[in-house]
Structure formats: structure tokens, C-alpha cells
Amino acid sequence: MSTAARPDGPGTMAALALGDDALILAQRLGEWAGHAPELEEEVALANIALDLLGQARTLLTLSGDEDELAFRREERDFRNVQLVEQPNGDFAHTIARQLYFSTYQELLYGQLAGGTEPLSALAAKAVKECAYHRDHAEQWTLRLGDGTEESHRRMQTALDALWRYTGELFRPVEGLDVAWDTLEDTWRASVTGIVTQATLTPPEGPQAAPWAAGAGRQGVHTEPFGRLLAEMQHLHRSHPGASW
């Protein structure tokens, strides 16, 4: 691994954490191409993935070479939260993941937009994209929650299953000047509000697994992540030094 892929300093580490969030979620959303429940939704999911990929490229470039960082790092060097690496599951799981994450990302970028360069400029642009992503997730949460019995059951299952990955969202990230308590309170109010409106029950279980090893921000990931990276990095790594 080159030095470009081993950034340090709190500023670059923060950009890396946010960049990895966006990159890995874009990778997951890209897997929907050709599998979405309706053609209109193909276009919608791809739009969100492209927004995130754009954010990821800007953020990773703040820390080094974007491709070096995306394709040459080992699993332990990725700083994304575990939530974004969770498999797509059914459409309800994807929507639950989107709801939790985009609500968080919009609030986070909202705060960063009023902060310092270089993150403030990126955040000011990205927060509008995040607002649209959150709206998309909310619209679908309402329709799945308050649709049929089956969709209600699936959406509740998905919200419950992914809840355990939400605690990590509010752990302070070094280098980010964010009021984390406020962020968490606002997030909870927003998510609870829409979940309740969708006739669903806000999950109540623990928001993190009880494990001292840490979580995504410390480079500790879940089992599906290794496979995601293997697939994403394989071609690039098979041709060391090649240009594409």
C-alpha cells in the first residue's frame, strides 16, 4: 500500500470516514441496477447512488488518491459505519437503511455546512442531495408501512433488523466539529415521527452490539463487508499500476 492510502491527521480521517460511508452505500445501491421493483424506481435508486458516489469521490480526494483509497485499502482501513455495508435485503431493508442513514447524513452535513473548510463547501452542496434522499426514504417508509399487511410486516422487520447499527451514527468522529447529542435527538425525533406516521412501531432494542472491539469507525466491520470489498476491488487489484 502506498503512502497515499495511509492518511492521518484528524481532518483527513474525518473526510475518509464520511467518504467511506458514501462510497460503500453507493456500492450497495448500485447492486439494485436491473433488480428494482419498478422502472421508475431503477432511475430513483441510481440517482441516489450517483449522488453518493460523487460525494465519495470529493471526500476521498481530500484524503489522497480516490482510486488508491477505494481499491487498495484492506478491510480494517475502511472507516464507514457498519450500517451502510449491510446487504440490500428486500426493498424494505434498503429503504430502512436509507431512512436511517440519509436522515443522519442530512443532519450531519447540515451542521458541517456551517463549519470550516474544506468540509463545509462539500457539505453545503451534499446536504441538498441528502434531503432528497431522506424524502425518498420517507415516502417509501410511509407507503410500505401503511400499504398492505405484507409490506407493513416487511418494513417493520427491516426497521428492527437494522436498528442495532444506528447507535454508531452518533459516536463522535475525531476532526468533526458536530453537536452529536443534538444530532442524535433530532435524528430520533425525525425517524420516530415518520415511522409512527407510517403506522409502524419505532424499534426499541439496543442500538449497538455489545462488543469491545468497536465498530466501523474503528475499522471493525461485519461479515458481508469482506465480500463487498472482494468484489469491488478484485479487478483493480488484478492489474497493479494499470490506468483505466
Chain residues binding other proteins by CB under 8 A are 23, 26-27, 30-31, 33-44, 46-47, 49-50, 53-54, 56-57, 60, 66-67, 70-71, 90-91, 135-136, 139, 142-144, 146-148, 150-151, 154, 231-232, 234-236, 239, 241-244
CB of 193 to other proteins, least distance (A): 17
Beta carbon of residue 71, minimum distance to other proteins (angstroms, whole number):
7
CB-nearer residue toward other proteins: 196 or 218: 196
Distance CA 132, CA 184 (A): 20
State in angstroms the smallest separation of the CB of 63 from other proteins.
Answer: 13
> Nearer to other proteins by C-beta: 50 or 161?
50
Q: What is the SS3 assignment for 6-59?
A: CCCCHHHHHHHHHHHHHHHHHHHHHCCCCCCCCHHHHHHHHHHHHHHHHHHHHH
Q: Helices 10-30 and 91-113, interaxial angle, to 10°?
A: 150
* Residue 6 or 153 having the CB closest to other proteins: 153
C-alpha cell at 66: 480516490
Residue 10, classified by CB atoms within 10 Å of its CB into exposed (0-12), middle (13-18) or buried (19+), is exposed
Cell reading at 50: 450517483
Nearer to other proteins, 4 or 50 (CB): 50
The torsion angle over the Cα atoms of residues 213, 211, 14 and 166, rounded to 10 degrees, is 160
Distance CA 27, CA 83 (A): 13
Q: How far is the CB of 44 from other proteins (least distance, A)?
A: 5
| Residue 229 to residue 73: CA distance in whole angstroms | 9
**CB closer to other proteins out of 186 and 233:** 233
Q: Which is nearer to other proteins, 79 or 154 (CB)?
A: 154
Q: Minimum distance from CB of 151 to other proteins (Å)?
A: 3
Give the list of residues 6+ apart from residue 104 with CB closer than 8 angstroms, or none: 169, 183, 187
Residue 56 or 96 having the CB closest to other proteins: 56
CB of 185 to other proteins, least distance (A): 28
Nearest approach, Cβ of residue 114 and other proteins (Å)? 27
